[in-house]
Amino acid sequence: MTSITGHSEADAGPSGDMAATGRVGDRVFSALATGSGVFVVSLIGLVAAFLLAQAVPSLMDNKASFLTSREWQVSAGDLRFGIADLLWVTVISSVIAMAIAVPIAIGVALFLTQYAPRRLARPFASLIDLLAAVPSIVYGIWGYFVLRDFVQPVQTFVESALGWFPLFAPLTVSGTIFLASIVLAIMILPIITAISREVFDQTPAAHKEAALALGATRWEMVRTAVLPFGKPGVISASMLGLGRALGETIAVTLLLSVTRGTFSWSAFAGGETFASRIANGSAEFDTPLKTGAYIAAGLVLFVLTFAVNAVARIVIERRKAFSE
Protein backbone atom coordinates (compact mmCIF):
# COMPACT_ATOMS: atom_id res chain seq x y z
CA MET A 1 0.00 0.00 0.00
CA THR A 2 0.97 3.57 -0.61
CA SER A 3 0.58 6.16 2.10
CA ILE A 4 -1.03 9.56 1.60
CA THR A 5 2.39 11.11 1.01
CA GLY A 6 3.02 8.71 -1.84
CA HIS A 7 5.66 6.56 -0.12
CA SER A 8 5.14 2.85 0.38
CA GLU A 9 5.19 1.27 3.84
CA ALA A 10 8.09 -0.92 2.70
CA ASP A 11 10.19 2.19 2.09
CA ALA A 12 9.64 3.28 5.69
CA GLY A 13 10.70 -0.07 7.10
CA PRO A 14 14.51 0.23 7.02
CA SER A 15 14.55 3.76 8.35
CA GLY A 16 12.18 2.74 11.13
CA ASP A 17 14.43 -0.18 12.03
CA MET A 18 17.46 2.13 12.09
CA ALA A 19 15.66 4.59 14.31
CA ALA A 20 14.68 1.81 16.70
CA THR A 21 18.23 0.46 16.71
CA GLY A 22 19.55 3.95 17.34
CA ARG A 23 17.24 4.41 20.29
CA VAL A 24 18.31 1.06 21.73
CA GLY A 25 21.97 2.02 21.27
CA ASP A 26 21.37 5.34 23.01
CA ARG A 27 19.74 3.60 25.94
CA VAL A 28 22.55 1.06 26.21
CA PHE A 29 25.22 3.76 26.04
CA SER A 30 23.38 5.89 28.61
CA ALA A 31 23.09 2.91 30.95
CA LEU A 32 26.78 2.06 30.59
CA ALA A 33 27.85 5.67 31.17
CA THR A 34 25.58 6.01 34.21
CA GLY A 35 26.72 2.67 35.57
CA SER A 36 30.37 3.64 35.19
CA GLY A 37 29.81 6.88 37.08
CA VAL A 38 27.90 5.14 39.85
CA PHE A 39 30.58 2.45 40.06
CA VAL A 40 33.40 4.96 40.50
CA VAL A 41 31.50 6.96 43.13
CA SER A 42 30.52 3.77 44.95
CA LEU A 43 34.11 2.54 44.88
CA ILE A 44 35.34 5.75 46.49
CA GLY A 45 32.61 5.50 49.10
CA LEU A 46 33.49 1.87 49.84
CA VAL A 47 37.18 2.75 50.26
CA ALA A 48 36.28 5.54 52.67
CA ALA A 49 33.92 3.25 54.60
CA PHE A 50 36.59 0.55 54.84
CA LEU A 51 39.22 2.97 56.11
CA LEU A 52 36.80 4.43 58.63
CA ALA A 53 35.64 1.03 59.89
CA GLN A 54 39.21 -0.19 60.36
CA ALA A 55 40.43 3.04 61.99
CA VAL A 56 37.63 3.68 64.49
CA PRO A 57 38.54 0.85 66.97
CA SER A 58 42.15 2.06 67.15
CA LEU A 59 41.06 5.69 67.48
CA MET A 60 38.75 4.74 70.34
CA ASP A 61 41.62 2.94 72.09
CA ASN A 62 44.12 5.75 71.43
CA LYS A 63 45.44 7.33 74.63
CA ALA A 64 46.88 10.40 72.87
CA SER A 65 45.32 13.17 70.83
CA PHE A 66 45.15 11.92 67.27
CA LEU A 67 45.22 15.38 65.68
CA THR A 68 47.71 17.21 67.89
CA SER A 69 50.01 14.59 69.41
CA ARG A 70 53.51 13.91 68.06
CA GLU A 71 53.75 10.48 69.69
CA TRP A 72 53.64 7.29 67.68
CA GLN A 73 53.56 4.26 69.95
CA VAL A 74 51.47 1.34 68.71
CA SER A 75 52.64 -1.47 70.97
CA ALA A 76 50.00 -3.99 72.03
CA GLY A 77 47.79 -2.64 74.80
CA ASP A 78 49.30 0.86 74.68
CA LEU A 79 48.21 2.84 71.63
CA ARG A 80 49.53 6.40 71.60
CA PHE A 81 49.64 7.92 68.17
CA GLY A 82 49.08 11.30 66.57
CA ILE A 83 49.49 12.84 63.13
CA ALA A 84 50.85 16.33 63.90
CA ASP A 85 54.36 15.53 62.65
CA LEU A 86 53.11 13.52 59.68
CA LEU A 87 50.75 16.26 58.58
CA TRP A 88 53.44 18.94 58.73
CA VAL A 89 56.05 16.94 56.80
CA THR A 90 53.51 15.84 54.18
CA VAL A 91 52.17 19.33 53.60
CA ILE A 92 55.46 21.25 53.67
CA SER A 93 57.25 18.80 51.35
CA SER A 94 54.37 18.96 48.86
CA VAL A 95 54.15 22.76 49.04
CA ILE A 96 57.87 23.19 48.43
CA ALA A 97 57.68 20.72 45.55
CA MET A 98 54.80 22.69 44.03
CA ALA A 99 56.66 25.98 44.47
CA ILE A 100 59.55 24.52 42.48
CA ALA A 101 57.64 22.54 39.85
CA VAL A 102 54.74 24.83 38.87
CA PRO A 103 56.77 27.86 37.64
CA ILE A 104 59.15 25.58 35.72
CA ALA A 105 56.27 23.61 34.20
CA ILE A 106 54.47 26.77 33.09
CA GLY A 107 57.67 28.15 31.58
CA VAL A 108 58.37 24.92 29.70
CA ALA A 109 54.77 24.70 28.46
CA LEU A 110 54.86 28.31 27.22
CA PHE A 111 58.18 27.74 25.50
CA LEU A 112 56.93 24.62 23.70
CA THR A 113 53.64 26.18 22.57
CA GLN A 114 54.49 29.85 21.96
CA TYR A 115 58.20 30.15 21.23
CA ALA A 116 59.81 26.91 20.08
CA PRO A 117 59.53 25.81 16.43
CA ARG A 118 57.36 22.74 15.85
CA ARG A 119 60.27 20.53 14.79
CA LEU A 120 61.89 21.19 18.18
CA ALA A 121 58.75 21.32 20.33
CA ARG A 122 57.48 17.84 19.53
CA PRO A 123 60.59 15.80 20.44
CA PHE A 124 61.27 18.03 23.44
CA ALA A 125 57.71 17.51 24.72
CA SER A 126 58.02 13.75 24.23
CA LEU A 127 61.27 13.76 26.19
CA ILE A 128 59.62 15.55 29.11
CA ASP A 129 56.67 13.15 29.02
CA LEU A 130 59.10 10.24 29.37
CA LEU A 131 60.00 11.50 32.85
CA ALA A 132 56.57 10.28 33.99
CA ALA A 133 57.53 6.71 32.99
CA VAL A 134 60.51 6.54 35.35
CA PRO A 135 59.61 4.42 38.44
CA SER A 136 59.53 6.27 41.73
CA ILE A 137 62.10 3.96 43.28
CA VAL A 138 64.58 5.04 40.58
CA TYR A 139 63.97 8.68 41.52
CA GLY A 140 64.54 7.79 45.15
CA ILE A 141 67.82 5.99 44.50
CA TRP A 142 69.03 8.76 42.18
CA GLY A 143 68.12 11.42 44.73
CA TYR A 144 69.89 9.61 47.55
CA PHE A 145 73.15 8.75 45.76
CA VAL A 146 73.46 11.59 43.21
CA LEU A 147 71.26 14.60 43.87
CA ARG A 148 72.00 14.82 47.58
CA ASP A 149 75.60 15.91 46.93
CA PHE A 150 74.42 18.74 44.67
CA VAL A 151 71.68 19.88 47.05
CA GLN A 152 73.99 20.15 50.05
CA PRO A 153 75.76 23.37 48.88
CA VAL A 154 72.38 24.97 48.14
CA GLN A 155 71.14 23.99 51.58
CA THR A 156 74.27 25.42 53.20
CA PHE A 157 73.83 28.71 51.36
CA VAL A 158 70.14 29.01 52.33
CA GLU A 159 70.96 28.18 55.95
CA SER A 160 73.61 30.89 56.08
CA ALA A 161 71.36 33.50 54.47
CA LEU A 162 67.97 32.64 55.99
CA GLY A 163 68.87 30.48 58.98
CA TRP A 164 67.16 32.95 61.32
CA PHE A 165 63.79 31.93 59.85
CA PRO A 166 62.38 28.71 61.44
CA LEU A 167 61.59 27.15 58.05
CA PHE A 168 65.29 27.31 57.09
CA ALA A 169 66.90 26.66 60.47
CA PRO A 170 70.22 24.79 60.06
CA LEU A 171 70.21 21.12 61.05
CA THR A 172 72.61 18.22 60.56
CA VAL A 173 70.39 15.68 58.81
CA SER A 174 71.33 13.79 55.66
CA GLY A 175 67.89 13.03 54.26
CA THR A 176 66.00 16.32 54.51
CA ILE A 177 62.51 17.47 53.58
CA PHE A 178 64.13 19.90 51.16
CA LEU A 179 65.87 17.09 49.29
CA ALA A 180 62.66 15.05 49.11
CA SER A 181 60.77 18.10 47.86
CA ILE A 182 63.19 18.61 44.96
CA VAL A 183 62.77 14.99 43.90
CA LEU A 184 58.98 15.31 44.22
CA ALA A 185 59.11 18.44 42.06
CA ILE A 186 60.93 16.50 39.33
CA MET A 187 58.40 13.68 39.59
CA ILE A 188 55.33 15.90 39.21
CA LEU A 189 56.88 18.14 36.55
CA PRO A 190 55.78 15.98 33.56
CA ILE A 191 52.14 15.93 34.70
CA ILE A 192 51.86 19.68 35.13
CA THR A 193 53.82 20.40 31.96
CA ALA A 194 51.78 18.06 29.75
CA ILE A 195 48.38 19.41 30.81
CA SER A 196 49.50 23.04 30.76
CA ARG A 197 50.99 22.53 27.30
CA GLU A 198 47.71 21.15 25.95
CA VAL A 199 45.72 24.00 27.46
CA PHE A 200 48.03 26.74 26.19
CA ASP A 201 48.04 25.16 22.73
CA GLN A 202 44.22 25.48 22.59
CA THR A 203 44.23 29.26 23.04
CA PRO A 204 42.09 30.67 20.19
CA ALA A 205 44.26 32.07 17.43
CA ALA A 206 41.93 35.08 17.17
CA HIS A 207 42.79 36.11 20.74
CA LYS A 208 46.51 35.97 20.08
CA GLU A 209 46.27 37.69 16.72
CA ALA A 210 44.11 40.46 18.20
CA ALA A 211 46.70 41.14 20.89
CA LEU A 212 49.53 41.24 18.35
CA ALA A 213 47.47 43.47 16.03
CA LEU A 214 47.11 45.99 18.85
CA GLY A 215 50.89 46.26 19.08
CA ALA A 216 51.55 43.80 21.91
CA THR A 217 54.91 42.06 22.08
CA ARG A 218 55.13 38.28 22.20
CA TRP A 219 55.34 38.29 26.00
CA GLU A 220 52.46 40.78 26.31
CA MET A 221 50.37 38.54 24.05
CA VAL A 222 51.17 35.56 26.27
CA ARG A 223 50.39 37.52 29.43
CA THR A 224 47.07 38.97 28.20
CA ALA A 225 45.73 36.14 26.01
CA VAL A 226 47.41 32.79 26.66
CA LEU A 227 47.81 32.81 30.44
CA PRO A 228 44.24 33.96 31.25
CA PHE A 229 42.81 31.36 28.88
CA GLY A 230 44.93 28.58 30.34
CA LYS A 231 44.59 29.47 34.02
CA PRO A 232 41.86 26.86 34.84
CA GLY A 233 43.90 24.16 33.12
CA VAL A 234 47.05 25.13 34.98
CA ILE A 235 45.14 24.96 38.27
CA SER A 236 43.86 21.49 37.36
CA ALA A 237 47.35 20.36 36.40
CA SER A 238 48.81 21.72 39.62
CA MET A 239 46.21 19.93 41.73
CA LEU A 240 46.93 16.65 39.95
CA GLY A 241 50.61 17.16 40.65
CA LEU A 242 49.87 18.00 44.28
CA GLY A 243 47.88 14.79 44.62
CA ARG A 244 50.87 12.84 43.30
CA ALA A 245 53.21 14.61 45.71
CA LEU A 246 50.97 14.04 48.73
CA GLY A 247 50.73 10.31 48.14
CA GLU A 248 54.26 9.50 46.96
CA THR A 249 55.71 6.68 49.04
CA ILE A 250 58.83 4.89 47.83
CA ALA A 251 60.98 7.86 46.84
CA VAL A 252 60.13 9.78 50.02
CA THR A 253 60.75 6.71 52.17
CA LEU A 254 64.23 6.32 50.69
CA LEU A 255 65.14 10.00 50.97
CA LEU A 256 63.81 11.15 54.34
CA SER A 257 65.80 10.49 57.49
CA VAL A 258 63.49 9.12 60.19
CA THR A 259 63.72 11.35 63.28
CA ARG A 260 61.07 10.10 65.68
CA GLY A 261 60.96 11.79 69.04
CA THR A 262 62.27 15.11 67.70
CA PHE A 263 60.46 17.81 65.77
CA SER A 264 61.54 20.91 63.89
CA TRP A 265 59.75 23.41 61.68
CA SER A 266 62.79 23.48 59.39
CA ALA A 267 62.66 22.17 55.83
CA PHE A 268 66.19 20.89 56.44
CA ALA A 269 64.96 18.42 59.06
CA GLY A 270 64.05 14.80 58.55
CA GLY A 271 60.75 13.15 59.33
CA GLU A 272 58.05 11.04 57.75
CA THR A 273 55.02 11.68 55.60
CA PHE A 274 51.77 9.76 55.93
CA ALA A 275 52.78 7.43 53.13
CA SER A 276 56.34 6.83 54.34
CA ARG A 277 55.18 6.20 57.92
CA ILE A 278 52.77 3.53 56.67
CA ALA A 279 55.52 1.98 54.53
CA ASN A 280 58.08 2.04 57.36
CA GLY A 281 55.60 0.53 59.81
CA SER A 282 54.36 -2.32 57.61
CA ALA A 283 56.12 -4.84 59.87
CA GLU A 284 53.77 -3.85 62.69
CA PHE A 285 50.60 -4.91 60.86
CA ASP A 286 50.24 -7.96 63.11
CA THR A 287 47.14 -7.04 65.13
CA PRO A 288 43.93 -5.26 64.10
CA LEU A 289 44.44 -2.39 66.56
CA LYS A 290 48.03 -1.72 65.52
CA THR A 291 47.07 -1.94 61.86
CA GLY A 292 44.14 0.39 62.52
CA ALA A 293 46.51 3.11 63.72
CA TYR A 294 48.24 3.17 60.34
CA ILE A 295 44.91 2.93 58.54
CA ALA A 296 43.79 6.00 60.49
CA ALA A 297 46.80 7.86 59.10
CA GLY A 298 45.86 6.62 55.63
CA LEU A 299 42.33 7.89 56.18
CA VAL A 300 43.65 11.39 56.89
CA LEU A 301 45.73 11.24 53.70
CA PHE A 302 42.63 10.12 51.80
CA VAL A 303 40.60 13.03 53.17
CA LEU A 304 43.45 15.48 52.50
CA THR A 305 43.76 14.41 48.87
CA PHE A 306 39.98 14.50 48.42
CA ALA A 307 39.84 18.01 49.89
CA VAL A 308 42.61 19.24 47.58
CA ASN A 309 40.73 17.99 44.52
CA ALA A 310 37.45 19.46 45.80
CA VAL A 311 39.05 22.88 46.30
CA ALA A 312 40.56 22.68 42.82
CA ARG A 313 37.15 21.90 41.35
CA ILE A 314 35.60 24.88 43.15
CA VAL A 315 38.34 27.21 41.93
CA ILE A 316 37.98 26.00 38.34
CA GLU A 317 34.19 26.31 38.33
CA ARG A 318 34.39 29.81 39.80
CA ARG A 319 36.95 30.77 37.17
CA LYS A 320 34.63 29.50 34.44
CA ALA A 321 31.77 31.53 35.86
CA PHE A 322 33.85 34.73 35.68
CA SER A 323 35.18 33.97 32.21
CA GLU A 324 31.79 33.40 30.59
In a domain, 149, yes or no: yes
What percent of the chain is modeled with pLDDT above 70?
A: 90
In the chain, % helix, strand, coil (3-state, to 5) comes to: 75, 5, 20
- What is the rounded average pLDDT of the residues 50-79? 87
Q: The CATH number of the domain where 164 resides is what?
A: 1.10.3720.10
State the residue range of the domain holding 114: 72-323
In angstroms, rounded to a whole number, what is the distance separating the alpha carbons of residues 230 and 38?
30
Residue 133 lies in a domain: yes
Q: Which residue has the higher pLDDT, 138 or 75?
A: 138
pLDDT of 42 over the 90 cut: yes
- Whether residue 284 is contained in a domain is answered as yes
Classify residue 46: in a domain, yes or no.
no
Establish if 283 belongs to a structural domain: yes
| Per-residue pLDDT reduced to its tens digit, 163-180 | 888 888 888 778 889 999
Give me the number of domains the chain comprises: 1
Model pTM? 0.84
Confidence at 322, pLDDT banded by 50, 70, 90: very low
Q: How far apart are CA 71 and CA 84, in angstroms?
A: 9
* 37-51, 132-146, 155-169, 306-320, range with the lowest pLDDT: 306-320
| Residue environment code for 254-273, b if the CB has 16+ CB neighbours within 10 A, otherwise e | bbbbebeeeebebbbbbbbb
221: in domain: yes
User: What is the per-residue pLDDT for 187?
Assistant: 92
DSSP 64: S
Inside any domain, residue 304: yes
Q: What is the pLDDT of residue 15?
A: 54
How far is Cα 15 from Cα 252, in angstroms, rounded to an integer? Answer: 62
Q: Is residue 65 part of a domain?
A: no
